[in-house]
Structure 1
Amino acid sequence: MDDTVALTATFNDPAGTTAQQDAIRNQLISLVNRTPAGAEINGSVYLFTDGGVSSALVAAKQRGVKVKLIVDGDAVPDVDANGKATGSEYSTLAAATGLGTDLTADSWVLACPENRGCIGNRRLGGSSDTGAINHNKFFLFSKAGATDNVVFQTSANLTTSQRRNLFNNAVTIPDAGSGLYAGYRAYWQDLQTNGSSGTGQATYYKTQDAGPYKTYFFPRQEKAGTTYNNDASTDTIVSLLDNVDCAGGATQIRIGMYAFTRVQVADKLVALKNAGCRVELLHNGEDGNLGTAVQASIAGNLTYAARCAGTAVDSTNASRAIGIHSKYMLIEGTYLGGTNRKLVFTGSHNYTYPNLRANDETLLKIDNAAVYDAFKANFETIKYGPHCAAW
């Protein structure tokens, strides 16, 4: 039987069937279950309350897979500040019957230090700044099925709300000689090294080309003489948008975004729309997820903008909020002088200042028409569905 892993884009539907809601976590579990003894799984995730994934990882260890997982410090507590159970799987994973915490062993779970990421240690200031986080959401497989060196990158945390309440995306990428796996693996090693000793770093920014892919790892510091929130020249998303050519009116930009507060990105999108590009935005509707300066910049100035804050009713007639947690930008048209390009930028990176300047984050560029077409179809499905309203 052919058990090769294919290049795949996966999307959940939080308002759909259980299988549709669980599509991303089920893809991850499938990869874990297909990892043979002697192979290695390396993961880095922000929050982890999914017992199904936890059980699959422990079962993988028991059959001889080396399972090494990094989580944010926010994933550790069993109860929150109000005494409410968090549902965290950390205690299960950290137990001797799980993965354990001995970093010299073949399998373990490591929590980043409290109030910072594993690498990122910067505080941007303000009463709401609780410190940097490891906001990553990726898994690496030295072998899955018959395929060596597989990267799984998602926008979703491993929680129930991410499956049941929010649209998310994932990509499964066989390395296929591109060098992508090695780039992620080196970054993962830096997360482990910094997370297990030392005080972290205020800036880390590294990029790597890998065939049709490119990775961008954060945090990225602003230039001297500027502040974290006013230097567009070191905003990676602005720099990517600087590569877009709107001449002729054929270039299209589509963004599905959970949190968007960087006004420099908003201003650049407006400028591109004014230059002839078609620019569309789907953003999450929770209060504060769209910054006031961003809202003022884009109001009436993009081709299309919609707030995603719908509701769904389950079989018990209970209603729940439905929004978008994806973090992707799609560019179709002229980019870096090349015409008819189809590019996807996805990962854990929201368009906020902490995601740029403080957190451990990954942004992944994918230059593949089939993957682009899948993301575009997802965008259109959400856009024309009942959970987003144009404004």
Structure 2
Amino acid sequence: MRIGKAAGAGAIVLVASLLGVPGAVAADDTVGLTTTFNDPAGTTAQQDAIRNQLISLVNRTPAGAEINGSMYLFTDGGVSNALISAKNRGVKVKLIVDGDAVADVGENGKATGSEYSTLAAATGLGTDLGADSWVLACPATRGCVGNRNLGGGDDGAINHNKFLLFSKVGSTDNVVFQTSANLTTSQRRNLFNNAVTIPDAGSGLYASYLAYWQDLRTYGASGDGLATYYKTTDAGPYKTYFFPRQEKAGTTYSTDASTDTVVSLLNNVDCASGSTKIRIGMYAFTRSQVADKLVQLKGAGCHVELLHNGEDGNLGSTVQDTIAGRLDYVAKCAGTATDAAGATRDIGIHSKYMLIEGTYLGGANRKLVFTGSHNYTYPNLRSHDETLLKIDNASAYDAFTANFEAIKASPHCTAW
């Protein structure tokens, strides 16, 4: 299987008069660390919160600046139009998408809604990699970097990333936008998602992402890709983890816990105080070693909660059996919402975050967020182009925790 929302929270300094003036800059048009969450069952503005945050960043990018992005699926005409408008006013826009984002018509004969053709046209970004702006599709049979097929029903590597980099937004240099959401309607209307907007502020985070993006471009444009890529970079209060990561020799992709990054992160947690809390909101969770570790931590005194998506197969049967009755709280998110016209749609969770509060790496009272595009599945670890981002910031943690509790309390998630 190739596995690829609460109203916006957080604060950003924005001059209201600039909203309708793409690229306009005022002296106080600065970007702060911002958390954004959508509510798929809320108002249109609440559903579109993440998409609108991204469009705002694009519209506030001045001429001469650069936007470099990597996105799995792209059917959002609003974002597409904003990127093309940015190019037309002198912004250098370079976008990488997965091969799955290219087709106008799917295997079922129905229109996909893909924006690739619009972006690839001469009136869009074009496809000339020597130009100032372009869109690049990763090879159809793999990701841009990752080239591995794990077999057993896996369709092979994809570029599952969901981030955009801005060399300047308003008066702020080097801004990273990382989300769990693909740029599709279903991600806004049917699924809880999250996003963070982070100014580099001398941390080195932007440079870390940009180096990875450049590798996606290099390997995606030529060559055969790589079976393993794994790179990590500390950047002040942040840390990046880029995948795929291969297992050790003599093991298999599904049995080597020592090279499972999430297991390694959980190994840093100390439960002795009895006050450490772990909260996870996750679209897809099939890695048994992560489940085993969560149960172990619960037994050691940590408080462990999980919200997972309710679509068939998104919670692996082994994981389900492992955690059943052994964590403090588990809920399946598979609700429904009815719009004003009486149409009903399914509501689930597509976020990919883990929140740790307590003792971590020997330090007490830590508040950490781990988010990005990384589901807890074997392809996300072993074959896909993926990003996991650590955020060591109490305000961001508090916003994510509020989002977790809001989803948990919603009628869309049922404890089991």
- Give the TM-score category using the shorter length: over 0.9
Corresponding residue for 1:385? 410
Q: Does the residue aligned with 2:223 lie in a helix, a strand or coil?
A: coil
Corresponding residue for 2:68? 42
Match among 210, 222, 232 for residue 197 of structure 1: 222
Q: Map 1:285-296 onto structure 2 (within 5 A).
A: 285-296=310-321
Distance 2:295 2:345 in 1: 33
Counterpart AA for 2:138:
C
Structure 2 residue 119 is matched with structure 1 residue 93:
yes
Counterpart AA for 1:298:
I
Structure 2 residue 128 is matched with structure 1 residue 102:
yes
- The Cα offsets for residues 32-81 of structure 1, whole Å up to 9 and x where unpaired, read as 00000000000000000000000000000000000000000000000001
Corresponding residue for 2:349? 324
**Deviation of the 1:112 alpha carbon:** 0.1
Match among 2, 11, 16 for residue 42 of structure 2: 16
Gaps of 5+ in 2: 1-25
**Deviation of the 1:129 alpha carbon:** 1.8
Distance 1:357 1:51 in 2: 32
Distance 1:17 1:82 in 2: 31
Corresponding residue for 1:366? 391
Q: CA RMSD in A?
A: 0.4
- The Cα offsets for residues 14-38 of structure 1, whole Å up to 9 and x where unpaired, read as 0000000000000000000000000
Q: Does the residue aligned with 2:90 lie in a helix, a strand or coil?
A: coil
Q: Map 1:25-40 onto structure 2 (within 5 A).
A: 25-40=51-66
**Deviation of the 1:131 alpha carbon:** 1.2
Distance 1:155 1:175 in 2: 20
Distance 1:193 1:208 in 2: 20
Q: Map 1:1-391 onto structure 2 (within 5 A).
A: 1=26, 2-126=28-152, 128-391=153-416
Distance 2:324 2:392 in 1: 31
Distance 1:84 1:357 in 2: 31
Give the TM-score of the pair, scaled to structure 1: 0.99
- The Cα offsets for residues 198-256 of structure 1, whole Å up to 9 and x where unpaired, read as 00000000000000000000000000000000000000000000000000210000000
Q: Does the residue aligned with 1:282 lie in a helix, a strand or coil?
A: strand
Distance 1:263 1:316 in 2: 42
- The Cα offsets for residues 137-170 of structure 1, whole Å up to 9 and x where unpaired, read as 0000000010000000000000000000000000
Corresponding residue for 2:22? none
Distance 2:44 2:90 in 1: 31
Distance 2:204 2:345 in 1: 42
**Deviation of the 1:326 alpha carbon:** 0.1
Corresponding pairs, count: 390
- The Cα offsets for residues 277-330 of structure 1, whole Å up to 9 and x where unpaired, read as 000000000000000000000000000000000000001010000000000000
Distance 2:222 2:99 in 1: 14
Counterpart AA for 1:143:
K
Give the TM-score of the pair, scaled to structure 2: 0.94
Distance 1:349 1:343 in 2: 16
Distance 1:223 1:72 in 2: 28
Distance 2:226 2:391 in 1: 28
Distance 2:401 2:304 in 1: 13
Distance 2:273 2:120 in 1: 56
Counterpart AA for 1:136:
N
Corresponding residue for 2:21? none
Gaps of 5+ in 1: none
Distance 1:157 1:384 in 2: 25
Counterpart AA for 1:251:
T
